[in-house]
């Protein structure tokens, strides 16, 4: 059985060169630094990784670079989602051969299936997937919510191991925590709710801000796993300005700007995303400094 997913897991940005091509050297260096800083897992080619503007061969290559750099030290949870079930299955099979340990699948966006359609989609994907599947509920991007009832129904599938819950609905997350079967992981999909979700019994977070502060995010989840709420609260408040700054514009615009300030990546995104408005730079740099980053 695959080990449970726990702790701080970084939703990795995809570094690009000035010409817009994937910067494999910067990506490998970012992975190595993340692991050295104590991060518990990595999610390449998700929303933060601008997967929707990467071709499937590019996604496969990014996952392969991340897996090769990780060298088995942490789980690699590749974003394989699509609102086309057949395409999601195709991506699962390809990325499953690229070195990932798990696959992250978002609830179908745009076509907005009813709950029974969401169940049918994930069941078909999980049946065909070569790796354990992590569900991803993010209504702000998909246009529809995956209910707690639907998540718990899918949690019974032998090849579905966890959910990344980014609905922001703590009542819904609590319902999943109360009803989940043994071994089914619940990960916060919102940095600002890591403390609340883990204090209620959740297992960790798939984080945006850990791109820039992996050590502090890992320390936060480690403290929560030990029920050390005093330490966790101190870290939570220290990270709060960065959580706010990281979402002042659409993710991953601000966190990529922050990483560029740190010299980790170039501040290059693929259209329709554009670089962060210059008026937010002071806020981002101040938030990074509060979190202990030297610029």
Distance in angstroms (rounded) separating the CA atoms of residues 182 and 75: 20
Mean model confidence pLDDT for the chain: 97
196 within a domain of the structure (yes/no): yes
291 within a domain of the structure (yes/no): no
Strands (E) in the chain, as ranges, are: 7-11, 41-43, 77-79, 102-106, 133-137, 160-165, 185-188, 204-207
Query: What total number of domains does the chain contain?
Result: 1
* pLDDT of the residue at 75: 98
Q: Name the token pair of 213.
A: 């502060």
Using a 10 angstrom Cβ sphere, with 0-12 exposed, 13-18 middle and 19 or more buried, the burial of residue 3 is exposed
251 within a domain of the structure (yes/no): no
219 within a domain of the structure (yes/no): yes
SS3 (DSSP) at 133 = strand
242 within a domain of the structure (yes/no): no
Q: Which residues are annotated as a binding site?
A: 48, 206
280 within a domain of the structure (yes/no): no
40 within a domain of the structure (yes/no): yes
Q: What is the mean pLDDT of residues 95-118?
A: 96
Q: Would you call 164 a catalytic residue per the annotation?
A: yes
Q: What is the mean pLDDT of residues 23-41?
A: 98
* Active-site choice (136, 153, 256, 264): 136
**CATH number of residue 97's parent domain:** 3.20.20.70
Q: What is the mean pLDDT of residues 87-116?
A: 96
In tens, the pLDDT along 196-235 reads 999 999 999 999 999 999 999 999 999 999 999 999 999 9
In tens, the pLDDT along 43-95 reads 999 999 999 999 999 999 999 999 999 999 999 999 999 999 999 999 999 99
Q: Which residues are annotated as a binding site for pyruvate?
A: 48, 206
pLDDT band at 11 (very low <50, low <70, confident <90, very high): very high
* pLDDT of the residue at 2: 67
Distance separating the N- and C-terminal Cα atoms of the chain:
43
Distance in angstroms (rounded) separating the CA atoms of residues 170 and 167: 8
Q: Would you call 215 a catalytic residue per the annotation?
A: no
In the chain, % helix, strand, coil (3-state, to 5) comes to: 50, 15, 40
Range of the domain at 106: 7-226
* Active-site choice (153, 164, 256, 264): 164
In tens, the pLDDT along 123-174 reads 999 999 999 999 999 999 999 999 999 999 999 999 999 999 999 999 999 9
* pLDDT of the residue at 1: 47
* pLDDT of the residue at 262: 98
Q: Name the token pair of 271.
A: 């259209």
pLDDT band at 4 (very low <50, low <70, confident <90, very high): confident
244 within a domain of the structure (yes/no): no
């Amino acid at each position: 059985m695959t080990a449970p997913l726990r702790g701080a897991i970084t939703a990795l940005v995809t570094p690009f060169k000035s010409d817009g091509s994937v910067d494999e050297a910067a990506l490998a260096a970012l992975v190595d630094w993340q692991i050295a800083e104590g991060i518990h897992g990595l999610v390449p080619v998700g929303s933060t990784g601008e997967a929707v503007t990467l071709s499937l061969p590019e996604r496969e290559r990014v996952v392969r670079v991340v897996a090769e750099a990780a060298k088995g030290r942490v789980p690699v949870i590749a974003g394989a989602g699509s609102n086309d079930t057949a395409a999601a299955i195709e991506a699962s099979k390809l990325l499953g051969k690229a070195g990932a340990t798990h696959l992250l699948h978002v609830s179908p966006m745009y076509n907005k299936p009813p709950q029974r359609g969401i169940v049918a989609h994930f069941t078909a994907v999980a049946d065909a997937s070569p790796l354990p599947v992590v569900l991803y509920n993010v209504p702000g991007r998909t246009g529809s919510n995956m209910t707690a009832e639907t998540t718990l129904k899918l949690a019974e599938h032998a090849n579905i191991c966890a959910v990344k819950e980014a609905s922001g609905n703590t009542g819904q997350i609590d319902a999943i925590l109360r009803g989940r079967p043994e071994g089914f992981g619940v990960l916060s999909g919102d940095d600002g709710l890591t403390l609340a979700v883990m204090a209620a019994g959740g297992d960790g977070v798939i984080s945006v801000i850990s791109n820039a502060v992996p050590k502090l995010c890992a320390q936060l989840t480690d403290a929560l796993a030990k029920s050390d709420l005093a330490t966790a609260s101190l870290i939570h408040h220290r990270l709060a300005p960065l959580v706010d700054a990281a979402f002042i514009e659409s993710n991953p615009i601000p966190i990529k700007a922050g990483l560029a300030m740190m010299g980790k990546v170039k501040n290059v995104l693929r259209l329709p995303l554009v670089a962060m408005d210059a008026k937010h730079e002071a806020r981002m740099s101040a938030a990074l400094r509060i979190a202990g980053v030297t610029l």
